[in-house]
Amino acid sequence: MMLSVLLATLSAFLLGLLLAQILRQAAARLRERYDLRDTAEVGELLLEIEGRTALVAGIVVGAILGVFGLALGGLAFALAVWTGGAALVPMLLRRRRERWRAALEAQLADGLSTVGAALRAGHSLQRAFEQLAEEAPQPLRRELAVVVRQCRLGRSLDEALDLFAQRARSEDLDLLVVSVAVARRSGGQLSRVLDRIAGAARERMRLKGKIRALTAQGRMQAWVIAALPLLLFFAMAWQRPDLVDPVLQTPVGLGLCAAVGLMEALGLWAIRRIVSIRV
């Protein structure tokens, strides 16, 4: 038993070093992109990592938890803990990214009105974005600072805004990039275009809030229905462990647990797809 605990601790330590290296590389990329010097800001941005980095971080965290699960509760418990950890980390990072994008879009709607007012006052478009980068709250200020710095280093404003839209993956920003490019080439009234984009963004946010309120009950029902079998299983394990032990100690029981977990995941995915309405 002591040997198992020591091996689990050593494995978790090595996996922790791997996780630290992944986060260090992500922090270096973020520090270079945003020209950051504050460690707190870098830590905040680490919550916004996505893609392959988030997947690898989830697998490593799940493996660390699985090693301890193997030492404490056996193979079945270790697999369950590893699966939960590997799925939880990317999900949390994705939710954080969605909240970041929602905050960015909300600030962008007000910011575009400010840019339109600056254009009507006689400022150039680049100067209007520079002024907005100085006054906007986070996270819009950070992203616009990148746009301004890229323009000062020789990129055109259209290219800098296009890179901004690729980072944010927001439909409002895609609309902004296309509209600014068309208006600058055709000579249209850019201030009026920006006001219309800001109005469309506010209307989109209003509809998203209304849809989220109307589908809140369905989303809550999905979690309740998914939690009921697990709660029943733990209640039976507490009251009648003699009925639960064969499930965890036989190949047939483990196969049934895996099938139940798979159907739970598919059911959650199906319900969330039904209640997720894109605007």
Nearest CA to 91 out of 274, 267, 265 is that of: 265
pLDDT digits (tens, 9 = 90+) for 48-83: 566 677 777 777 777 777 776 666 666 666 777 777
Is the distance from CB of 265 to CB of 258 less than 8 angstroms? no
Which residues neighbour 61 within 8 Å (Cβ) at sequence distance 6 or greater?
Answer: 19, 85, 86, 88, 89
Is the distance from CB of 62 to CB of 83 less than 8 angstroms? yes
Task: Name the residue with tokens 């504050």.
Answer: 38
pLDDT over 90 percentage in the chain: 0
Which residues neighbour 8 within 8 Å (Cβ) at sequence distance 6 or greater?
Answer: 67, 68, 70, 71
Query: Nearest 5°: CA angle at 79, between 78 and 80?
Result: 90
Where is pLDDT greater, at 208 or 77?
A: 208
- Alpha-carbon separation of residue 143 from 138, 158, 194 (angstroms): 8, 15, 18
What is this structure's pTM?
0.71
Task: Name the residue with tokens 């460690």.
Answer: 39
pLDDT digits (tens, 9 = 90+) for 247-257: 777 777 777 77
b/e burial code for range 2-28 (CB count within 10 A of at least 16 → b): eeeeeebeebbeebeeebeebbeebbe
State the average pLDDT for the chain.
Answer: 76
Confidence check: pLDDT of 4 > 60: no
Is the distance from CB of 133 to CB of 147 less than 8 angstroms? yes
In this structure, of 10-14, 39-43, 129-133, 211-215, the range with the lowest mean pLDDT score is 39-43
Confidence check: pLDDT of 112 > 80: yes
- Alpha-carbon separation of residue 269 from 58, 217, 257, 265 (angstroms): 19, 16, 18, 6
Burial class (CB in 10 A: 0-12, 13-18, 19+), 41: middle
